[in-house]
A and B are shown apart, each in its own frame.
Chain A
Amino acid sequence: MSPKFKSTWKVVIALSPFLSSALLFQNCSSQTQWDADLSSEIEVIEQEHVNQDHGTEEKAKRITSYRPLLSDRRSTDLILNDIFNDGAVKDLSLVATYVATKNDTFGTPCSFYSDYKTSGSARYETLSFCSFTENMLNAPVNPDTLVSREAYLAYVCEGLVNTTATLDTAMKKISSKAPSPLPAASDANLLKMFQLFYRAKPNPQAGLIQALKILFANPSAPTRDEWKAAFYTTCISGYWQVQ
């Protein structure tokens, strides 16, 4: 064991009582609105009605369940292509393979009309997107968040930022001169990157932009790896999938 690791483990052992206690009590920490509940639903009391006709106070509550809509396979595919595809190919194969054709995970079943031949052998939606297997046809219309969905998304995000052409395409949308030079990690440029994913959504608070800046050692002279991390983090943040 290297001296460096030896010293690390001494620290681990020394701090283990503190850390063990902290882990034990992590679930006792304050509950936020956010990470408390695995449920994707909220219940909204729409109306509280007091019925006095029968001489008794009878309250009737109408409860509506609301679940956020997530982008489906096609809209997720389109957004990612819009960010990372320079138009050289119709669809980025990585996105097609792990998003557009994953009906069972990203939702929206195939339609028989998807196989409609518009002219000659061209199809409205290629068979690579709709093979009419049972999973394709039975896919949910409004899919819930799934662990497998986030795994595929992370893999796709990872592949897109690790590929020179796709990352360059995305960076050009921040600065037309990119990748040479790389855009500065300024507030304005980080906001542009944010907006590539978060469409028709309010701008973030300053804290988020500042948090993105911690990925850059020197925001005015960023490295390629630092922009990779920024795009990757925004891509996997996931909330941009909420419609």
Chain B
Amino acid sequence: MKSRRQFLADSLRTLTLLGLPIQTATTIVETIVNKAYAGILDSPENKNSYKLVQILLESAPPRWLFDLPLTPNGNDKFDVGSTNSFGNKLKITGSQVDVIHSSWKSANGLYVPPVWSLNVPGQASFQSLLNHTLFVRGIDAEIDNHGLNRMRVDQPIIGGTSLTGAVSDTANHPIPGVHVASSATTFRSDKNKNAIRTNAAVSSSDNPVKRVLSPFLIGGTTFYRKDPGWDSAVGQVLDQFDAYAASIQIPKSSLRENHDKADALVREGVSSLVSQWAGVYQKYTSLVTTALSPAKGTLPGFFDKAIPVNNTNQRYRLETGILPAASMTDFRDVTRAGLTMNGLAASFAAAEILLTSGVTSTFTLGFDAVRNIDFGLSAKQAMTNDQHRVGNIATTVITTLQYRSLLACLTEFMETSKSAGTWDTTIVQIGSEFNRAPRADGTGSDHGVRGSNMTLISGMFQKAQAIGNILVEPPSTSANYRGTWGVATNYKVGSETRRIRYNDIARTISAMTGCADIVANGSSLVKPSGSQWVAINPEAKNVA
């Protein structure tokens, strides 16, 4: 393919040969140049490339409240332990509050945690998102370490090429990857690209999109751009530098192509993206606020009835050990001050703008704790994701609302991606360090390494699927623990029968995107079937 600039330079020369004055010819060509360059972000190369959104559930919040279907077929055996252990829904009898295990039967017959039924008013139902979801249960995370295992979601071989890097290497986006999370950047590319790391902070004059696009927001005022005659001449000289490079055997290089892209983005490509920020951010902020603050009387099993408070019962406590004030009589009042989740709306707004526009192909975002919790105390409280000492009543109410806000954002992101025509090439990967092992008395949970799970959501999936085998009765290491919920057991992976590993997830994403294989072993869990991808082994058993 001849470069656009070369072609247009040739056109300019042709027009002058036709007898047109140089200024007229330049004006004509510049009009076309600008239109051609405006298409860089939505070029077929970028538009059709695969996109990977990684959502890191940092610090490993419990997954049975969200994307770990423990009884996906409805009639599966599962040892839920006592009602004082962990579950995903409240059962209120008089002043007694129990946490029980429950499943919601979705429209396609898959039984999933009840948060999937807690739609946000005015938005497409979560069922529409579920229709594109693959739950992978029964993953052995192998390592008991927050930092290392979080890295392995993206970088199964620690220090090796990452999924985000490999997916990015399949195209040539202006920004290879964007990382908006508190955890370490794991982006590693075989082409030595690098991701831009920023945070989700927003002010009236700054936001993540502006920061990521900053290379293209500077400049643009130079003399030559204001004068089409100069501009054309500079282009012709650059063509001669190309010829010089060829003559001295500098191998094929994207230096010039990248210069032309950068030039086009500086001229006109990104200011419109920055101007989208306010509206898109407001949209996600509104969704998160609504999802975190349900009206009393709504959300059956969570907010439909008053939740009696026992301010000496450790099942109400937060990680800090703080219990609700004695004056608090209805636990639903935790939302009185307006719960917040730092960065969730900003992260999704940035992801939507930067991915659907073609600025980048990979986006990593973190999942922050819930804040501004009103316990009737003078200071507002926070709910950490690392819930060692968080009581099961507190986590079932607050963490469910947290996941509800994530689902609201995901559903909106899906709808926008569909409108932009990018949903069928987008994979959302939701992962964390591990699942959790609940305490038998419901007063907290520890690391559940062998009971991990991962969720993939994509336009390439056209039905809800759950795969992976787990144990009916989790092995308990002590009387204090129920053991991990959803602990992995053997499953047929490729030609092997074993527990699923993070490597298999990596191979799955490599298969779906065609990106480089980044692990030494493992097998894809899905295969193409017509226009969609389906599980190779659709088994999701609870094994005694």
Contacts and interface: CB of A to CB of B under 8 A. Distances in A.
Contacts of B222: 158, 162, 232
Interface in A188-232: 201-202, 204-205, 207-208, 211-212, 214-215, 225, 228-229, 232
B197 interface: yes
Given A12-B31, A158-B222, A35 B194 contact: no
Contacts of B236: 211, 214
Interface string A24-57: 0011011111111111111000000000000000
B256 A141 contact: no
Given A68-B253, A154-B266, A208-B241, A107 B192 contact: yes
B209 to A, nearest CB: 14
Contacts of B219: 151, 154-155, 158
Contacts of A158: 219, 222
Contacts of A214: 233, 236-237
Interface stretch (B168-176, B390-398, B401-409, B433-441): B168-176
Contacts of A135: 185, 194, 196-197
Contacts of A229: 223-224, 230, 233-234
B273 to A, nearest CB: 14
A145 interface: yes
B256 A151 contact: no
B251 interface: yes
Nearest to B266: A151
A148 interface: yes
A67 B252 CA distance: 9
A22 interface: yes
A143 B253 CA distance: 13
B197 A104 contact: yes
B193 interface: yes
A165 interface: no
Given A26-B7, A40-B191, A105-B215, A11 B24 contact: yes
Nearest to A237: B241
Interface residues of A, number: 75
B258 A154 contact: no
A114 interface: no
A150 B218 CA distance: 12
B46 to A, nearest CB: 11
Interface in A10-25: 11-12, 15, 19, 22-23
Contacts of A149: 258
Contacts of A41: 191, 251-252
Task: Choose among B6, B36, B45, B241 the residue with the greatest number of A CB atoms under 10 Å from its CB.
Answer: B241
A19 B32 contact: yes
A154 B236 CA distance: 17
Contacts of B4: 26
Interface residues of B, number: 69
Given A155-B218, A229-B230, A233-B238, A204 B2 contact: no
Q: Which of B193, B194, B218, B239 has the largest number of chain A CB atoms within 10 A? A: B194
Contact of A144 (B185, B189, B234): B189
Contacts of B197: 104, 134-135
B266 A147 contact: no
A208 B240 contact: yes
A161 to B, nearest CB: 8
Contacts of B175: 147-148
Contacts of B498: none
Given A147-B175, A205-B247, A238 B259 contact: yes
B107 interface: no
Contact of B28 (A15, A23, A225): A15
B259 to A, nearest CB: 4
B265 interface: yes
A147 B261 contact: yes
Contacts of A27: 1-2
Contacts of A205: 243-244, 247
B280 interface: no
Most chain A beta-carbon contacts within 10 A, residue among B195, B222, B239: B222
A126 interface: no
A239 interface: yes
Interface in B190-212: 191-197
Nearest to A135: B197
Nearest to B251: A42
A174 B374 CA distance: 71
B242 A34 contact: yes
A233 B253 contact: no
A164 interface: no
Contact of A145 (B196, B218, B241, B255): B255
A146 interface: yes
B2 A233 contact: no
Contact of B215 (A23, A26, A152): A152
A142 B194 CA distance: 11
A179 interface: no
Interface in B248-289: 248, 250-259, 261-263, 265-266
Given A11-B24, A202-B248, A242-B250, A32 B194 contact: no
Contacts of A7: 24
A199 to B, nearest CB: 13
A30 B254 contact: no
A48 B263 CA distance: 43
Given A35-B3, A152-B215, A239 B244 contact: yes
A61 to B, nearest CB: 19
B382 to A, nearest CB: 24
Nearest to B196: A104
B86 interface: no
B255 A148 contact: no
B27 interface: yes
Contacts of B237: 208, 211-212, 214-215, 233, 237
Contacts of B259: 150, 153-154, 236, 238
B17 interface: no
Interface of A: 7-8, 11-12, 15, 19, 22-23, 26-27, 29-42, 66-68, 98, 104-105, 107, 134-135, 138-155, 158, 162, 201-202, 204-205, 207-208, 211-212, 214-215, 225, 228-229, 232-234, 236-239, 241-242
8 contacts: A32-B2, A40-B253, A41-B191, A151-B262, A162-B222, A205-B244, A214-B233, A237-B237
Given A147-B215, A154-B263, 19 more contacts: A8-B27, A8-B28, A15-B28, A23-B32, A39-B252, A42-B251, A68-B251, A146-B193, A150-B255, A154-B219, A162-B223, A202-B248, A204-B244, A229-B224, A229-B230, A233-B241, A234-B241, A239-B255, A242-B245
